[in-house]
Amino acid sequence: MDLAQGAALMMIASGAAHAVVNAILKAGKDKMSSRALIDGFSALLVLPAAFFVSLPHGAWGWLAGSWATHLVYLFCLIKAFERADMTVAYPIARGVAPALAATAAVLVFDEPLTWLVAGGIGLVSLGVMIVGLGRHADRRALGWAAATGATIAVYTVIDAQGVRAAPSALSYIVWVYLALGGGIALLFALWRGPRFILAARSEWKAGLAAGALSIVTYGLALWAYRLGDTPRLAALRETSIVFALAIGILFLRERMTAGRIAGALVIGLGAALLLAGG
């Protein structure tokens, strides 16, 4: 297996774990508190590793940009989940992201993009949007989901550059989670105040599980970005919607439709093109 194939498999595994993390967030009663628990536990779990990896010299600016973008992203995601089903908000957010990330990576950082990969990105984005737009959602929910997708594209490009600038992938991964957990989680917990304490008492086990999975999902993604091209890998990660669709139907009791099945098939075709384009 070459590096490109390994990076692709890492991204697909990342997508599967990402769908589970978002399902746990969606199931939480107080979503901002749930997100604070997830990111807080992630930071605690990676903290011991900070004593064994090098500091991310050369990547501090990228880390700062990632932190700021993730703050906006998580706020938009919470708002989208508060107003719409996971199988509406999640696909729209993830469908917007790969095309925007690919465009930025090619135009700003001159990353390569073949016609085969471009076709795969287009199909994945189209399939994801088919899944999400097949149900009614109010305009505010769609707006928050679209804003979530735009911020995903921004932090994807930032972190792809940051993990390449750092001394090692592990160095950047550890410090990303320390920054997010130590900063954003604290902000969200303070924002919710006493309601965070109540949520923590009842949801800490789910938060711990999602926090551990969060390290797996974005850790794999960041490691893959160090090995391969951003446009192709960012789109492959959006195969997470197939897993999210299954979770939404099987565990969150959301409805299956012909449009969602069609969207999943289009995503699968796009992923096949992306794998072939590697």
Query: For 200-224, what is each residue's pLDDT tens digit?
Result: 898 899 999 999 999 998 999 999 9
pLDDT for res 205:
92
Kindly state the average pLDDT of the residues 254-266: 75
**pTM for this model (two decimals):** 0.84
Q: Measuring CA to CA, which residue among 223, 215, 236, 214 is closest to residue 12?
A: 236
Q: Decide if 153 contacts 100 (C-beta within 8 A).
A: yes
CA angle 192/217/145 to nearest 5° reads 55
Domain count for the chain, please give it: 1
pLDDT for res 132:
65
Where b means 16+ CB within 10 Å and e means fewer, 32-69 reads bbbbbbbbbbbbbbbeebeeebeebeebeebbebbbbb
Residue 1 clears pLDDT 60, i.e. is over it: no
Report d(CA 260, CA 129) in Å as an integer.
9
For 68-87, what is each residue's pLDDT tens digit?
999 999 999 888 888 877 66
Residue 21 clears pLDDT 90, i.e. is over it: no
For residue 246, what are the domain limits?
3-276
Residue 15 clears pLDDT 90, i.e. is over it: no
Residue 277 clears pLDDT 70, i.e. is over it: no
User: How many residues are present in the chain?
Assistant: 278
